[in-house]
Structure 1
Amino acid sequence: MSAFVFRTSFAAILLSSAPPLWAQEPTGDAPAAIPAPVGGAERYTPADFTRFAPRTALDMVEKVPGFLIVTGTNGGDRGLGQATENVLINGERIASKTTDARTALSRITATQVAYIDIVDGASLNVPGLTGQVANVVLVAGAGASDGLKTTIRWQPEWRPRIEDNWLNGEISTTGKLDGTQVTLSLKNEANRSGHWGPERRFDGNGNLLFIRDEFGAYDGDRPRLSAALARTTANGNKWNVNLGGQLQNLREHVSGTSVQPAFGRVSEDFRFTEDEYNFDIGGDYELGLGKGRLKLISLYRFEHSPFVDSFIVDREVGGRSGERFSQTADESESILRGEYSWRTAGGTDWQIALEGAYNTLDVDAEFAKLQPDGSFLPVAFGGERTKVEEKRSEASLTWGRALAPNLTAQLNLAAEYSELTSSGPGGLTRSFIRPKGKFALAWKVGPKTTINWFVQRRVDQLNFFDFASSVDVANGQGNGGNGQLVPPIVNRSELEFVQDMGRWGHASVAFAYGYAQDLVDQIPLSPTTEGRGNLPGAHLYRVTTKGTLLLDPLGWKGARINADVTWRRNRVRDPLTDQWRDQSFGQDYVADLSLRHDIPGSNIAWGGGYFDERFSPGLRLDAIEKEYTVGPFVTAFVEHKNIAGFTVKLSYRNLAGMKDGFDRSVFVDRRDGPIAFSESRQRKFGQYFQLTVTGTL
């Protein structure tokens, strides 16, 4: 039985911001006069969102025509580095690895938002930002006199044949206590999902051997308690403190039954459990120094994550067999970063940044086989203990200015030093010095047309778990650890055209190309083993189009269509055949379309969505695996914007009956030889209801 792998991808996103970071800090308790937009920014005020009856800043930003919101926490990588999300709050990036833009905005009430500016990232003194960026500016003194505000989001789901999900949601309270902004939050990203259906196994000639009936259930609870403190002192200095702790309890169970010619009735049982805890504490302090501002940032994060995989087979003829793989991983990250920014009299923005980080991964693993007495006996597999350490430092210089009234530029030059030590298979100590950087232009061709362009050399980070050996007990596969891995480098360029269509909406299209060195994929480690390793040079292509079409000019008042479509190809050299192919499990395309109609003169809105994506096959040296969906994911919803002061949205999901598909061909030896057997499955998960309740107290 093939283990279930679930992938969800979210399309990347655009948003915007304002001039120097310190220029947007509100002072005093009375709302200040709203300044005029700077540098051709598009300005959205609360009045522009009245018909949507927004409860939070997130509700408002989501309704800005032409883009979605970037998710993730500074790229999800180790270290802080440059900004990667396209949302700023009061002109400042969200310098946290545990709070992404969407989460931060959901904790700000709509009444606290003064306005939202959409500007070009290249015009900002925030390294890393390109394209459109949203700067959410809060009302001056927000929270100082109106007490504590509590925001609630509750999102239960009811699925067929699956346990009901009542525990997904968040409650957060924010306000000022004695001049200090305080935010407390309890959030649980709970999931209850599953699917069921037949899996067919064929021999090497394509003849059906048997059909296995399967059922999979996947449950998770991730309660996180966090606190954030922020204060601006009388002399204009600012400090922030963030801390949080989380438990993650994950459970997966896939069972299958079949009648096989040689074994009679066969029952198979795969189980996965993980009980993780993690915590983090971080903060920053910003002060005036000389002609600029100095910001000091620190962070410490720790994660303890033990998991156990087991796969047991009961045969009517042949008895019971089974395997178990368990692993306990301790990860830690320590970061210190300093940024000094200033603006010259001539209008040039400068920033110097230094960052140091120390990262560790300590893995203890065990592979064991089931014994006749029901116990598991450990078996040596060569990856029982792996420790990875990285000492990394980075220095960068950023320059930005207007080259003409309608043309702004930003140049970032940087270099990083990394010392990487691994004690697993093939482990050794190595050091790297890698230059990187980015040059971006934003050209306002006309009042409604903008062209954004950048060229970048990016140094990606390695997954430390690729240094450790692992065993996939459900599929009978394994990966050897690879101590020879080097970080990938991507040299890329992107050209984006952005068009404001006035009363018709907003649209953009972007073309990107990248040349990647040392991408990580499956490679041979020896004549008989394989694992994660580096590939020769690869070519990356992407076309993305996004837009919002407002239907009011057609007479359909209050209706809009959002579209986000991406096509990509990542072409790599196959390490086995030396032929060009798509990168394993690379995204081929994603199409995300939605319709929303806010009925004028009422509190009712309705609409629907269409989502579809495809991935290229995943290639091991002895197998080809393809994950796919059968049909698109279609939803419909109805929303009431004021039920006892709450917005209530009921969604009916998977109307088109999408199924999860997985095909696998396993070869006798390598995949350039004969096929030993193949499997094909399609599991359905039915239609289901989701309720979303949001509001403030």
Structure 2
Amino acid sequence: MDNGDDTRGFANSAGNILVNGRRPSVKQDTPSAILARISANSVERIDLIRGQVLGIDMQGQSVIANILLKEEVPAAVQWKTITGKVFDEDFINLNGDISLTHKWKDIDYILGVQLDQHAHHWEGTRSYFFGDDNLVEDRVDDTSQRHSFVSGSFGSSTWLKKNFIEFNSRVRVDDNSVPLISIRTPITDPEPHRELFDNDSVRTNIEASMNVTRSFNHDLTTKGIFLYSQLDNDQYATQTIFDTNDELDLFRESDKNTLTQEGIVRVETNWTGLDHHFIQFNIEGAYNRLTSSLRQTVDTGAGPKRENVPGSNTKVEEYRSDILLLDNWNIGPFEVEYGLGVEVSNISQTGDAGLERDFFFLKPQAGIVYTPHINTQARLSLQREVSQLDFNDFVSVVALQDDDITLGNPNLKPESIWKVELGYEYRFSAAGAFNIALFHHWISDVEDLLPITDTRDAPGNIGDGKRWGVNLEVALPLDWLGIGNSRLDIRTRWTDSSVKDPVTGKTRKLSAIGGLGGPFIYREEDIKLSSEIKFRQDFEDERIGWGWELRSRTKRTLFKIDELDTYNEDFDIMAFVESTRWFGIKMSLIARYLTDERERIRTIYENQRSLSVIETTEIQRQSLIGQIDFVLSGNF
């Protein structure tokens, strides 16, 4: 399942799930979350669509799942509860999710509510060295997260004369607290002292959308999409340092608010008036705004003093238009797709930094799909994509634990990528498939960390680069090994890249995403090798199933002006057993984070990286403590 990209605009956020042939016009409320609220009793069947089908907008996907609902069904309630516990915590994780699918007059609607409270616990150590081998301090870290949220959603659809109207809305409020206790023991002074970090946040997310679809005749269909979303994020962080007598030595606090807003108007027109052609014309207009404010103070005993963080109080606005004309031409076993897109935008920033810029991009695309047999497909595509800027990169960010600031950059511009991909898919049985795709990307204006001063860097454009690799997916039934009703699903991605380093002038790979926190997920990013393996076996007579999942990825490095920041999660395993044999309820027992060991190595130089000697080295090792969940779900 593909939930789409979390980018500005609607075109790139669509996933590969349709409901009754229509793509859910949502962004924050993902297609997978929408499906979780649909009762299985309401589903007529699920069609797997490979290649272009008349009236179906594939939006660049090679495979789409179309969920077809029954026309007349009684009211249905879908529910799910999760009770869990971290192995060494007294806190009980609780989650409740319930949804109602019903009909009022001619309006079909679905209403959902979800409540959640859960905890994560990390234990670890940090070792600090002068240079790379002289130990100067050891730390023992203990981090506990408390996260709760409440979410409500409402969706409806109806016919109004010849217009099919859909409405979707969602509200979610998250409350998150992550305290860290660090016990520091310098080698020269065996008396330990404490350092405390608290990171609290409250996020309020609102989204509402309306779609109007009309078929003017058999050949012409138009859909209008109107969407508004808003994220209000209040963050409060503190750093408290005590001396060896447990007296207060320093207190720093950071109070930040970020408000992100997006409004989208989009019109999609499909025309099939020419034999064997499916012509699409899409036009989208969007307005995006981010407003950020930060107040930071430090108190070393003489009272709090304001700390200036340049670029932290700012407003960024964007007006953007996106047009696409696309034709899909079906010629027997061949499908030829070609089109041209145009993107025009204006981005302005006011506050600590002021700048206004205009952008214009042409986005041609072409592809050919060859399907000689229902079980075999080959694909070749070439297209130019333009990245959607993350407005948070325009705002300076303070990392209290790292004693570091990443500046915002008002001069950041979108990177553009020419992508070529050659893919082959073979389905060797009803449940078995082999899918491989080779890709190469030519990147202009690579977005990475760019030196702004001799000691500070910021997100910026560092020149041209390349990325190449292979994606492999295998679905393998294991009956031939004597393991009945079992299946192994494998996803793996190997990638490499090159770009000229703005600090050293030498060729290196692209920077990867930093950070150790959060559950281990498989995603496409600039990592040498990442893999996900899932095993499942079902015993149909006993109505019991069990399985496990393994995820792994190799080291990833973030290249800063005076630092190499390397992360290594190695691999993680989860296992489960489930049954539907009692009371018509699905019961699952899930063990998570069984081998979640993580490492971070910060190599900090005296001045610019690789142009000076190593000043300090920090080695952080962290374990995400395992947890067990008991899940009940059903419908009535």
- Give the TM-score normalised by structure 2: 0.93
Shift of 1:269: 0.7
Is the 8 Å Cα contact of residues 536 and 545 (structure 2) preserved in structure 1?
yes
Shift of 1:155: 2.6
Shift in alpha-carbon separation, 1:169–1:662, aligned structure 2, 3 A: farther
Tell me the amino acid that sits aligned with residue 19 of structure 2.
I
Displacement of 1:163 in angstroms is: 5.1
For the Cα contact (< 8 Å) 2:84–2:94, is it kept in 1? Answer: no
- Between the aligned partners of 1:526 and 1:653, the Cα distance in structure 2 is 44
Task: From 39, 45, 48, give the equivalent of 1:115.
Answer: 45
Which SS does the other structure have where 1:102 is aligned? helix
State the alpha-carbon separation in 2 of the partners of residues 639 and 620 from structure 1.
46
Measured at CA, do residues 187 and 517 of structure 1 come closer, stay the same or move farther in structure 2, by a change above 3 Å? farther
Distance verdict in 2 for CA 1:204–1:553, change over 3 Å: closer
Q: 2:588 is aligned with what amino acid?
A: K
- In structure 2, the CA distance between the partners of 1:415 and 1:504, relative to structure 1 (3 Å rule), is closer
Aligned residue among 79, 85, 93 for 2:15:
85
Residue number among 343, 368, 373 corresponding to 1:446 in the alignment: 373
1:311-332 deviations in whole A, cap 9, x for unaligned?
A: 2211227961232222111111
Equivalent residue of 2:301, what SS? coil
1:304 is displaced (CA, Å) by 1.5
- Structure 1 residue 82 displacement after superposition: 5.1
Q: Which residue of 2 aligns with 1:633?
A: 572
Which structure 2 segments of 5+ residues have no match? Answer: 513-525
More off after superposition, 238-247 vs 424-433: 424-433
Cα deviation digits, residues 6-41 of structure 1 (max 9, x gap): xxxxxxxxxxxxxxxxxxxxxxxxxxxxxxxxxxxx
| C-alpha spacing 1:677/1:345, structure 2 compared with 1 (3 Å) | closer
Report whether the alignment pairs 1:457 with 2:384.
Answer: yes
Task: Give distance in 2, aligned partners of 1:321 and 1:284.
Answer: 54
8 Å CA contact 2:236–2:253 kept in 1: the answer is yes
Deviations 1:123-159 (A, max 9, x none): 56525223222222222x143xx2x211112233211
**Aligned twin of 1:335:** 264
Give the aligned partner of residue 650 of structure 1.
589
What does residue range 197-208 of structure 1 map to in structure 2 within 5 Å?
197-208=124-135
Q: Distance in 1 between matches of 2:59 and 2:340?
A: 11
> Which position in structure 1 is the counterpart of 2:28?
98
Name the % identity.
Answer: 21
Cα distance between partner residues in 2 of 1:466 and 1:155: 36
CA deviations on 1:205-255 (whole Å, 9 max, x unpaired) are 41122221110112222321111111134x442001112211111111111
Letter in 1 for 2:8: R
Determine the structure 1 residue equivalent to 2:291: 362
Whether contact under 8 Å (1:130, 1:440) holds in the other structure is no
Secondary structure, aligned partner of 2:288: strand
Aligned match of 2:59: 128
Count how many residue pairs are aligned between Structure 1 and Structure 2. Answer: 618
Distance 1:87 1:615, change over 3 A: farther
Distance 1:205 1:495, change over 3 A: closer
Moved more, 113-122 or 303-312: 113-122
Q: Of the candidates 237, 245, 249, which is equivalent to residue 171 of structure 2?
A: 245
Measured in 2, the distance between the counterparts of 1:507 and 1:486 equals: 38
Matches within 5 A, 1:553-568: 553-568=480-495
In the alignment, which residue of structure 1 is the partner of 2:253?
324
Distance in 2 separating the partners of 1:406 and 1:191: 51
Question: Shift in Å at residue 94 of structure 1?
Answer: 1.8
Match of 1:372 among 298, 301, 307: 301
Q: What aligned pairs does 1:225-624 form with structure 2 within 5 A after superposition?
A: 225-233=152-160, 235-261=161-187, 264-289=191-216, 291-316=219-244, 320-372=249-301, 376-403=304-331, 405-502=332-429, 505-585=432-512, 586-624=526-564
Structure-2 change in CA distance of 1:345 and 1:205 (3 Å):
closer
| SS at 1:79 equivalent | coil
Q: Report the alpha carbon displacement of residue 686 of structure 1 after superposing the two structures with TM.
A: 3.7
Mind listing any 5+ residue stretches in structure 1 that lack a counterpart? 1-68
Shift of residue 515, structure 1, vs aligned partner: 0.9
Letter in 1 for 2:173: L
Q: Decide whether aligned partners of structure 1 residues 614 and 527 sit closer, same or farther in structure 2, where only a CA change above 3 A counts.
A: same
Deviation, structure 1 residue 298: 0.4
Q: Which moved more, 1:567-576 or 1:684-693?
A: 684-693
Query: Structure 2: which amino acid aligns with 1:90?
Result: N
**Structure 1 position 333, deviation (Å):** 0.8
Please state how far the C-alpha of 1:107 moved relative to its aligned partner.
1.7
> Given the two structures, how large is their TM-score scaled by the length of structure 1?
0.85
Q: 1:370 to 1:540 in 2, by over 3 A?
A: same
SS in 2 for 1:155: strand
| Distance in 2 separating the partners of 1:636 and 1:674 | 46
Deviation at 1:106, TM superposition (A): 1.3
2:630 equivalent to 1:679: no
Instruction: Say if 1:369 and 1:376, in contact at 8 Å, map to a contact too.
Output: yes
More divergent stretch after superposition (676-685 vs 156-165)? 156-165
Cα-Cα RMSD: 2.1
- 2:184 paired with 1:184: no
Supply the distance in 1 between the matched residues of 2:90 and 2:208 (Cα, whole angstroms).
Answer: 35
Question: SS of 1:617's equivalent?
Answer: strand
State the shift of 1:428 in Å: 0.8
Distance 1:286 1:388, change over 3 A: same
Q: Secondary structure at the match of 1:572?
A: strand
Question: Given the superposition, is the C-alpha separation of residues 368 and 514 from structure 1 closer, same or farther in structure 2, using an over 3 Å criterion?
Answer: same
Secondary structure, in 3 states, of the residue corresponding to 1:75?
coil
Q: Deviations over 1:422-444 (max 9, x none)?
A: 12555311111111132222211
Alignment of 1:146-225 (within 5 A): 146=74, 148-162=75-89, 164-188=91-115, 190-225=117-152
* 99-108 or 246-255, which deviates more: 99-108
In 2, the alpha carbon distance for the partners of 1:85 and 1:455 equals: 20
